[in-house]
Structure 1
Amino acid sequence: MAINDVDPRDDAHSLEQALLGSILATVPDALIVIDARGRIISFSSAAQRMFHYSEAEVLGENVAMLMPSPDRERHDGYLDHYRETGEKKIIGIGRLTTARRRDGSTFPIELAVGEVHDQGEPLFTGFIRDLTERQRTERRVQDLQAELSHASRVTAMGTLAAALAHELNQPLTAIANYMEAGRDLLAQDGAIDRALLGEAMDEAATQALRAGEIIRSLREFIRRGEADRQPETVSTLLSEGVALAFIGINSRGIDMDIAVDPRVGRIMANRVQVQQVIINLVRNAVEAMEGRPMRILHLSATPDEEGRVEIIIADSGPGLDPAAERSLFTPFSTTKPTGMGVGLSISRTIVEGHGGRIWTTRSRWGGVAFHFTLDPAD
């Protein structure tokens, strides 16, 4: 071949490389490529901006450095398990989880993992989307949704209150009338007509039972709207719940950890409802730790003495005031200047609807530890 001759295949290859480089430099999602041992072999420009590491600082390092606990400690085991069994846990499946920046702060991400082979050796590609990048838009949408939701709640509560007042008015009025009649009988001079007094008391008791039945019927009506429960993996519920809770809030400087006892299997739960409990408790913990020099958030799951699964969400906040603790789960009771005081009440309703219970203790760091129990699926 002459010196000036150019193989068209070389031009095509160069064009492909340039095109690939341009895509990787401009795509908003981070791309990380690791080898079979978890070592980083490619770290895109978006990944450098997202994690605050340069490519030179991470090449050859274990990708676990970009993960919070417990994924950081378990990642190599996941790779070993896949090499030995071929069982895919997250490959080809998108999932919500959390990642760890250079400064130690954690943030919610959407992760998609793929697999390719290079000369027979597996490589794993991870596309990562930082969910906090959409905070500004989502906050505005959430504000609008909150306003609409508030208006809807007020309307619904007004309708419910009117209906309930209408249904209860008759038995309550009857109770008042019978009690007044009994009082008048007792106030009369002379012998008391015990038969008439007994009849008035019997009728008052009957109407009181009727009022209670109206309340029970309303509760049954609400319960029929509950979603079905299915076996759910506790670690997934916790990791996804934390990721969702971190959307739109300041998680910088929080030392977050998730620890699930190996004896804990799956639980019977409505995933959306239980994750709502986790979101409520995590957000409360983050708000309580705002401005604190030490911000520790620890989530754990262990089997309790009764065979249930006990989930604990503990923080290093200032703890609870004894006066506030007594009404902690009471609806419309709150210490927040802008809160409605329904989050913990809803959480208790969800947990008790699952057959569990929820309570608080002092955490090992002086903050609050919320405990709640759920039934195992196995």
Structure 2
Amino acid sequence: MAEELGLLIDGATGYAIYMLDPEGRVTIWNRGAERMKGWTEAEVIGVDSAIFYTPDDVAAGKPADDLARASALGRIEEDSWRLRKDGSEFLAGVTITALRNDAGELRGFGKVIRDVTDQKASEAAVVRREHHLRSILATVPDAMIVMDETGIVSSFSTTAEQLFGYAKADVIGQNVSMLMPPGDRDGHDGHLHTYLQTGIPHNIGNVRVATAQRANGETFPIELAVGEASIAGERIFTGFVRDLTNRHETARRMKELQAELVHVSRVSAMGTMASTLAHEINQPLTAIAAFLETTRAMIGETDDGLLGEIAEALELAAAQSLRAGMIVRRLRAFVDGGDTGFKAERLDTIVEEATSLGLLGAHEAGVSVTMTIAAGLETVLVDRVQIQQVLVNLIRNAIQSMASSPCKELTIATAPDRDAWVRVTVADTGTGLSPDIRDRLFEAFATTKEDGMGLGLSICRTIVEAHGGRIWAEAGATSGTAFHFCVPLAGADDV
């Protein structure tokens, strides 16, 4: 039996197995110990086992301390540095067992030594790689997701947490399709299955634009790049995800800015043209007014009824020509950015003068007009000519919109608005506004007229907003459209 036990001990060549007497001297030495440590059996039998310890451990009394602990505990296990005969050191997995007889007397110690240097180096390398990977996952600017060949997530970077709104614990162990909108999830699994079966990639090795979904259900555009690797025979996929939301928003804003630039250039060109036209038109208007007044003076006082009516018409025509010239001068001042003359004005007078010009030809066109001027709102702080320009524009638009309507009713009204403001309304029973023009009604060059330039309402909005007010349109009660704008009432210091 002793011979068989010796054969078993010598056969364990991967382990150094030896026995010590109670004082720590070697009594049995197997071939594995000889191969591992370099000493032959003849060299170590009866020798103190302290020769296997490093000088520092010997100086610290570790050989005797290890035996004392093993005696007290019955068995100890540890990893510790040991010496070979040639003086080299190796990391050893050490097991020391106290051997006692039936009476409990200590007969010696059994020691089993295993060289774990390479194993610990490999484990340390794995730990270093894991720390390196964690460092990458924590600092990589794009979201980084690692998954296996079934799509199960094994790593989820810090940036990915911030991007998707999930914690690592919520994602690791789950299918990566949870980060996609519901409509894309089945497609992802299908692409992965097809690739594993055929080797034909759909996304692997390519950069493509896709849609992802955050934890709160919000979807957003991403740029996705997926790479493949094989580690220890296991296939893994690494996805890098970049949020394109800001890029798309920047592109959209740039497109808007380009459109605004074109718009501004067109408006600027129209402003230059309007200023030139205002200058050119003002002179003939002044001349017309002068000829009309001269003709009226030539008629003089007369008892002839017809000549009297002609004289009255000439006076009105001259007055309107002068007012038209004033409007043109105000328009030019407005375009040039000059003083527009805000003063306290009577609102009823402004409306009356504007309607006298805006309603020309309305009676002949079959338009009935209703005017309602609210009491207590007599004085407003405005540029009279500009507000009259707004009213004339709205009135003429209303009359044109009713050209083909069987019912042609025009309503001009004033009413209180918010505190210290008055609302002016011009309503018609015309064809109304189509949905495609309603949202951009007050933009420059937006028009429903075949021969219109689309500047009238844009100018109206600019004038009203320059007064601090606003202008808007609503569908009429039964048909047509009601335009409203607000202007400020004059205060006691303005009058």
TM-score (norm 1): 0.43
Instruction: Give the structure with higher Rg (CA).
Output: 2
Flag the structure with more relative contact order, 1 or 2, with Cα contacts below 8 A and sequence separation at least 6: 1
TM-score (norm 2): 0.34
